[in-house]
């Protein structure tokens, strides 16, 4: 097993470090920079999209739905177990199952119901021979290589990358500049390497490891990142954490914010979304909560932060991937400080094959 970990203490840390390679594989042969085109070997008809997924993959689904909406295509993400019992109307919808394993029973039930109602289905998965890949009309493989750690890391980054490719290849990018997006995707592996080489996540983890509760906030593409940051921390450190759309914190949970609840705030760029999230950061700072900003330094969020985790400047869509890598490292180092069973957390399974 030690050989399999290639010198890392845990599979999860190895897999976090494999992300530049995993994403190169995901992009390989699918992106033509000169032509400014993304080409996949699938070509589904798309007028509306319903994403179904569970756990970490649901966060990728939320992000994916936002990409399609940005291109003017109605799109929504559903928790697969909710979808299966209360399936929304399907017109000409494409139903996309996001699942690392391709075997999650809840997600399988959802696509079987979608199929029964006449939808085209697409499996976005890491496992070529999986049940979902076989049963769906089409499959788009994320090509991360095997993931051993129960808590998803490199597969999530590859799901975010693959869903960008899917949107660009099928519906484009709305008002966004496609060439700029393709460039941002091309730069993603190297930018992740920069994060891995320079991250201060370990010292942040040591400073806050004794906290009993953590919050994560982000807006737009950073909302799924906030959710995923909290889920990762819960899964492997057994510490309470919650992720929110930044604007939602004040609608209730702010009551729990104290000097003992560190808040991770994902803020990149210097646009209206960033400014509004900084407004939310000020609200938590005023309650004495330590703020850890995950930022590219474009805005002045650092003024309100007790610690900073830097990411290279890039498009908001790819910044979300980079910010998530910082939060993966924070979760890993907190769990490691606490001596947790990182690769096999209690009560959890890599793939849940019962509904
Ligand atoms: C399990 C795992 C999670 C994972 C979820 C969905 O609950 O512990 O890490 O996100 O299943 O898995 P999938 O293979 O469908 O992505």
d(CA 273, CA 254): 19
Report the side by side order of strands in the sheet with 120-125: 75-79, 48-53, 93-99, 120-125, 138-141
Check if the interface score ipTM surpasses 0.90: yes
Q: What is the dihedral of CA 4, 10, 16, 21, to 10 degrees?
A: -10
Of 5, 250, 344, 350, catalytic: 350
350 catalytic? Reply is yes
d(CA 201, CA 204): 5
**pLDDT tens, position by position, 302-328:** 999 999 999 999 999 999 999 999 999
Q: Reduced to 3 states, what is the DSSP secondary structure of residue 261?
A: coil
| Burial class of 253 by CB neighbour count within 10 A (0 to 12, 13 to 18, 19+) | middle
Using an 8 Å Cβ cutoff, are 82 and 109 in contact? no
* Pairing mode, strands 37-38 and 31-32: antiparallel
pLDDT given for residue 1 in this prediction:
56
Annotate 319-337 with b (16+ C-beta within 10 A) or e (fewer). Answer: bbbbbbbbbbbbbbbbbbe
Sequence-distant (6+) residues with CB within 8 A of 245 are 217, 218, 219, 223, 226
Distance 101 CA to ligand 1 centre (A): 7
pLDDT given for residue 158 in this prediction:
98
Q: Residue 107 CA: which ligand 1 atom is closest? A: 15
**pLDDT tens, position by position, 128-137:** 999 999 999 9
Mutation to probe ligand 1, out of 100, 148, 347 (largest number of atoms < 8 A from CB): 100
Q: Which residue is closest in CA terms to ligand 1's atom 3?
A: 55
Q: What is the mean pLDDT of each run of 10 residues along the chain (355 residues)?
A: 82 98 98 93 93 98 98 98 93 96 97 96 98 98 96 97 97 94 97 98 98 98 98 98 96 95 98 97 97 98 98 98 98 98 93 89
Q: Where are the alpha helices (DSSP H) in the chain?
A: 11-17, 19-27, 55-70, 80-85, 105-116, 131-135, 154-170, 178-198, 201-208, 222-237, 272-286, 316-337
The answer to whether the Cα torsion of 325, 326, 331, 337 is positive or negative is: positive
Mutation to probe ligand 1, out of 152, 158, 346, 347 (largest number of atoms < 8 A from CB): 152
Q: Residue 231 CA: which ligand 1 atom is closest? A: 9
d(CA 185, CA 229): 21
Residues at CB less than 6 angstroms from ligand 1: 54-57, 99-101, 104, 107, 150-152, 348-352
Return the structure tokens found at 79. 């928790």
Distance 287 CA to ligand 1 centre (A): 35
**pLDDT tens, position by position, 189-221:** 999 999 999 999 999 999 999 999 999 999 999
Distance 290 CA to ligand 1 centre (A): 31
DSSP β-bridge partners for residue 212: none
Q: Residue 55 CA: which ligand 1 atom is closest? A: 10
Distance 134 CA to ligand 1 centre (A): 19
Q: Which residue is closest in CA terms to ligand 1's atom 11?
A: 351
Mutation to probe ligand 1, out of 350, 353, 354, 355 (largest number of atoms < 8 A from CB): 350
Q: Residue 152 CA: which ligand 1 atom is closest? A: 9
Distance 330 CA to ligand 1 centre (A): 20
Distance 352 CA to ligand 1 centre (A): 7
Q: Which residue is closest in CA terms to ligand 1's atom 2?
A: 350
Mutation to probe ligand 1, out of 104, 147, 355 (largest number of atoms < 8 A from CB): 104
Q: What are phi and psi of 292, to 5 degrees?
A: -110, 115
Distance 231 CA to ligand 1 centre (A): 11
Q: Which among 85, 11, 116, 87 is positioned nearest to 336, based on CA atoms?
A: 11
d(CA 196, CA 156): 16
Q: Which among 334, 244, 232, 227 is positioned nearest to 283, based on CA atoms?
A: 244
């Amino acid at each position: 097993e030690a050989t399999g970990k290639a010198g890392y203490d845990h599979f999860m840390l190895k897999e976090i470090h494999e992300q530049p390679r995993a994403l190169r594989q995901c992009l390989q042969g699918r992106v033509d920079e000169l032509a400014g085109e993304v080409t996949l070997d699938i070509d589904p008809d798309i007028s509306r999209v319903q994403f179904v997924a569970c756990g970490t993959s649901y966060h990728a689904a939320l992000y994916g739905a936002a990409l399609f909406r940005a291109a003017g295509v109605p799109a929504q993400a559903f928790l697969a177990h909710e979808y299966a019992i209360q399936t929304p109307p399907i017109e000409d919808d494409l139903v996309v199952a996001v699942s690392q394993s391709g075997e999650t029973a809840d997600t399988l039930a959802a696509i079987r119901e979608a199929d029964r109602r006449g939808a085209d289905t697409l499996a976005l998965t890491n496992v070529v021979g999986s049940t979902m890949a076989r049963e769906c009309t089409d499959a788009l493989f994320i090509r991360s290589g095997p993931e051993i750690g129960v808590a998803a890391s490199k597969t999530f980054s590859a799901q975010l990358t693959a869903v960008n490719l899917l949107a660009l290849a099928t519906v484009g990018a709305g008002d966004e500049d496609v060439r700029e997006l393709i460039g941002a995707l091309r730069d993603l592996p190297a930018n992740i390497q920069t994060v891995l080489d320079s991250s201060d996540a370990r010292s942040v983890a040591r400073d806050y490891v004794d906290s009993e509760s953590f919050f994560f906030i982000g807006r737009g593409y950073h909302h799924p990142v906030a959710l995923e940051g909290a889920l990762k921390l819960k899964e492997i450190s057994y510490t309470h954490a919650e992720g929110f759309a930044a604007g939602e914190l004040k609608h209730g949970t702010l009551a729990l914010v104290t000097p003992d609840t560190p808040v991770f705030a994902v803020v990149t760029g210097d646009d209206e979304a960033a400014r509004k999230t900084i407004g939310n950061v000020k609200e938590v700072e005023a309650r004495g909560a330590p703020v850890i900003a995950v930022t590219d330094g474009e805005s002045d969020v650092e003024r309100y932060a007790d610690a900073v985790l830097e990411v290279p400047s890039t498009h908001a869509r790819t910044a979300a991937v980079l910010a998530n890598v910082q939060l993966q490292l924070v979760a890993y180092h907190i769990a490691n400080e606490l001596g947790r069973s990182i690769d096999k957390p209690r009560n959890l399974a890599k793939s849940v094959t019962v509904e």
